[in-house]
Structure 1
Amino acid sequence: MLGLANSFKYKRPTLVYILISCILYLWFAYGLERTEALKLLFLYTALFVLAFQIIKTSGFYFRMIVIAAILFRLLFLFSIPNLSQDFYRFIWDGRMIFEGFNPYLHTPDSFIHNGKIPVVQAQELYNGMGGLSAMHFTNYPPLNQLCFFIASLFAGKSILGSAMVLRIIIILADIGTLYFGKKLLERLKLPSNRIFWYVLNPFIIIELTGNLHFEGVMVFFLVWCLYLLHSGKWKWAAVVLACSISVKLIPLMFLPLFFWWFTSTSFGEQNNELKRWIPDFTEMKKLMSFYTIVSITIMLLFLPFFSMEFINNYSKTVGLWFGNFEFNASIYYIARAIGYSITGYNEIAIIAKILPMVSVLIILGFSFFKRNDSIPKLTTSILLAFTLYLFLSTTVHPWYIATLLALCVFTNYRFPLVWSFIVILSYLSYISIGTSDKSENLWIIGLEYLIVFSAFIWEVMLKKRIKI
């Protein structure tokens, strides 16, 4: 205890920054309305500056930063999210399961419009989630639904209580990411303090813990999977990767990128150039076993909800995100503008079919033409492939960037850090959508992506990188 006290004594500037951050996080959690643009910009920017100062002045004193990161998250515990309304649907789905309904088979509209009250506080939850969510079937995978059910189990009659349970789950996931991320960095002989650029990042604290988005749980399973792969426990890694997919579907697109991980050993033993590109049967068998374990685990997790109606509803709902919704896009908005100039109509139906095909080709390129035979190389390929996917997407919600931020700590790229800060500009579009003006401010979106693209091009294409 005396040693800890002395350590804190010589870190007084850091303690001051932590104290100020606590005050600002409390202000953010309990004193900010989503329409208060200037206050939002001020608090967000100040918290980023303070996070940098905490890391800088602490000398990466591990225990102090861990305590600060957990404390900042706990400050949000009794708050209702002020930048997102998705949590109302989370609570609705959890209470549907608790009442014996399959959440994939019913929309909130189908109950409310018929005057039915399927869950406690149904009308309040329905009003909170908004019309867009209420009219569609749920798209949250089974482990996500399990988290929602746990919230209903422990706080089935209180929206705030349910939010608190969901928040505790997300905080525990972040602690898990800290644990496995640090261990993986140490095994890779990379600075373990890199993990703090994720754990202490105000974007992660606000967007995941504050606004209750479950990318944090998905990231926890993904980082754990990478740790298991590096440890040689590829079968357990497959199970954990399936869990990550069963929280959010995003890691599904990463599956081809594991090709070289299982085949590089046999390829490396081949001196003949042609043989280097011919997979060894034993290694291919291991790769297919990995994919089989992932697939079986996912199917088992979906099994309690399975029906033909579920398949129809779920596939349609997931498809909507690619062909109907538009938000905070970049390349897609440029393609849309070109389409308007040529035809005079929004050609999303055509563009939204072409861009995913380009994304698939990019992922396949990273899968087969880059030797992803180490964790840094694998995470770099996943990072770049997913970044390009987001650049081509029709919808890029701010919390999607959490995955990039987690992956970048295992690479030499830092552009996700820039994006995690500048993404605040997309929140301003949320603010405008929340008012009578239902359209995004494309000047704001353009400024966001000008900065993000500049950082990306500089690091990936222009800057001479240090090889890991």
Structure 2
Amino acid sequence: MDLKKLQLYKLPIIFVLSCTAFYFSFAYDLDRTDFFKLAGLYLALFYLSFNLIQMQKNNFWFLAGAALVFRLVWLLALPDLSQDYFRFIWDGRLIAEGMNPYQFTPDQLMQQPDFNLSQGGELVAGMGNLSAGHYSNYPPVSQLIFGIAGFLSPESILGSVVVMRIILILADIGTLFIGWKLLKKLDLPQHRIFWYILNPFVIIELTGNLHFEGVMAFFLVFSLYLLYQKKWLLSAVLMGLAISVKLLPLVLLPFLIPYFREKRNLLKLPVYYLVTSLVVMVSFLPFYSEEVVQNFSSSIGLWFDKFEWNASIYYIVRWFGYLDKGYNIIESAGTALAICTFLLIMILTFLRKAENLKQLFTSMLFAVSIYLLFSTTVHPWYLTIPLMLSIFTSFRYMIIWTLVIILSYVAYSNPEYQENLWLVALEYLAVASYFMLELFGRKKPFQALLT
């Protein structure tokens, strides 16, 4: 590289080196109770990353290389912001031992005198009482990944983490290339894919904290890419795999009705749904029994009527419930809000057009946003899919949400993991305000930055 080119790349290289140092600090030198350091690193990474995208938006390989370097920094780090990985490893080692991860809770197995699992006690202690006392709720493709880690690293927690992390990095690479090609097909700026791939939220929550929304995002964007190419049977297979990683894409399926109708292929839609359903059912077959179905269903139900975290509309409903009933009404409120979510998504399905894939992406983005707003639990990594969908639309509020979601981590700064509801309110106020400006404002906010 000559001196002139070196001068041209001087600032971007400084930004990449700075981000690498900050990610290293995040991965190996951060206590999650230190919220000010956590937030400071996160904000700095956001600033540097999005400036880097603006400076090198036409240099695919430079940005792709930076994205890979930032992920490889985490390779040997244990997740600090989430303890879910202990349950992933537990389920994976059960599979490696030929056991069904849906059949028993970890607590039940640990009470059996003849049960023996490598590092079992350490894994149960790490996952915490809440996870150890409930059945696994991770669908089969996720379990397959856990099982691969269990086979390849049966006695090392770090080894299992490395295996799963490599799979997540490969999924992100797939999303990068498929997303890049799909943006080109839709005549949209191709550098938008880096709003996802270089977003610190994605790198920290997926690569760092080992959440498999990244694998789901890959299957989903690949499915929609194949749908655009009119390879709808293969698209249905990939959609089924996305659902079998995490169940969230189920809320997107209704929006294929107006899309297929506009394409005058409505008769093909039942076959699309059938293929998708068959893929999901086949993925469950190795684990199937009536007991397992009951266990899995009960575990999924907990997210609607037992668990609560970083919610918005639900917290308002809960407050009115305390005023009226004097106790937490989550069981009735969670069910009611789930019904409201379903009804709103169905109304949106028939009100919005889907003449092309851009409109389909927008409808799906709104659907997942509705789902999150009415949920009782919104963990940061739940934003992965709507963020990915948003890069194919004209809406940018998800980027703002991935920035302010860091406020939810203030709960880790106290021993009781108590949320600061003022900060939760600030998070949702920022997102709602930005969305309203996008929807009704004459000028798009931060348009120059987010083009």
Query: Does the TM-score normalized on the shorter chain lie above 0.5?
Result: yes
- Count of aligned pairs between the two proteins: 446
Q: Distance in 2 between matches of 1:148 and 1:179?
A: 25
Q: Which amino acid aligns with 1:227?
A: Y
Match of 1:146 among 136, 144, 147: 144
Query: 1:373: how far off?
Result: 2.7
> Per-residue CA shift, 1:165-211, capped at 9, x if unaligned?
00000000000000100000000011100000000000000000000
What corresponds to 1:302 in structure 2?
Answer: 284
What corresponds to 2:436 in structure 1?
Answer: 457
Query: 1:59: how far off?
Result: 4.2
Aligned pairs for 1:351-366 (under 5 A) are 351-366=333-348
Choose 354-363 or 365-374, whichever is displaced more: 365-374
Aligned pairs for 1:184-223 (under 5 A) are 184-223=182-221
Query: 1:86: how far off?
Result: 0.1
> Per-residue CA shift, 1:278-332, capped at 9, x if unaligned?
xxxxx33201000000011111111100000011101110011001100000010
Unaligned runs of 5+ in 2: none
Q: Distance in 2 between matches of 1:74 and 1:439?
A: 33
What corresponds to 2:366 in structure 1?
Answer: 384
Query: 1:430: how far off?
Result: 3.4
What corresponds to 1:445 in structure 2?
Answer: 424
Q: Distance in 1 between matches of 2:404 and 2:242?
A: 27
Is residue 108–residue 135 contact of structure 1 (8 Å, CA) maintained in 2?
yes
Q: Which amino acid aligns with 2:190?
A: S
> Is the aligned partner of 1:317 residue 2:315?
no
Residue 162 to residue 6, structure 1, CA distance change in 2 (3 Å)? farther
Q: What is the TM-score normalised by the length of structure 1? A: 0.92
Q: Distance in 2 between matches of 1:81 and 1:448?
A: 24
Is residue 304–residue 331 contact of structure 2 (8 Å, CA) maintained in 1?
no
Q: SS in structure 2 opposite 1:19?
A: helix
Q: Distance in 2 between matches of 1:124 and 1:463?
A: 56
> Per-residue CA shift, 1:247-291, capped at 9, x if unaligned?
00000111111001211133xxxxxxxxxxxxxxxx332010000
RMSD (Å) for aligned C-alpha atoms: 1.7
Match of 1:82 among 80, 83, 91: 80
Q: Distance in 2 between matches of 1:258 and 1:419?
A: 26
Q: SS in structure 1 opposite 2:188?
A: coil
Is residue 243–residue 249 contact of structure 2 (8 Å, CA) maintained in 1?
yes
What corresponds to 1:420 in structure 2?
Answer: 402
Is residue 35–residue 412 contact of structure 2 (8 Å, CA) maintained in 1?
no
Query: 1:153: how far off?
Result: 1.4
Is residue 69–residue 200 contact of structure 1 (8 Å, CA) maintained in 2?
yes
Query: 1:58: how far off?
Result: 2.2
Residue 463 to residue 45, structure 1, CA distance change in 2 (3 Å)? same
> Per-residue CA shift, 1:120-158, capped at 9, x if unaligned?
110111110000000000000000000001111111110
Q: Distance in 2 between matches of 1:30 and 1:265?
A: 51
Q: Distance in 2 between matches of 1:39 and 1:86?
A: 22
Q: SS in structure 2 opposite 1:248?
A: coil
What corresponds to 1:401 in structure 2?
Answer: 383
Aligned pairs for 1:42-61 (under 5 A) are 42-61=40-59
Q: What is the TM-score normalised by the length of structure 2? A: 0.96
What corresponds to 1:20 in structure 2?
Answer: 18
Q: Distance in 2 between matches of 1:415 and 1:154?
A: 40
Q: Distance in 1 between matches of 2:15 and 2:375?
A: 38
Q: Distance in 2 between matches of 1:194 and 1:31?
A: 31
Is residue 221–residue 241 contact of structure 1 (8 Å, CA) maintained in 2?
yes
Q: Distance in 2 between matches of 1:186 and 1:313?
A: 44
Choose 346-355 or 85-94, whichever is displaced more: 346-355
Q: Distance in 2 between matches of 1:414 and 1:438?
A: 30
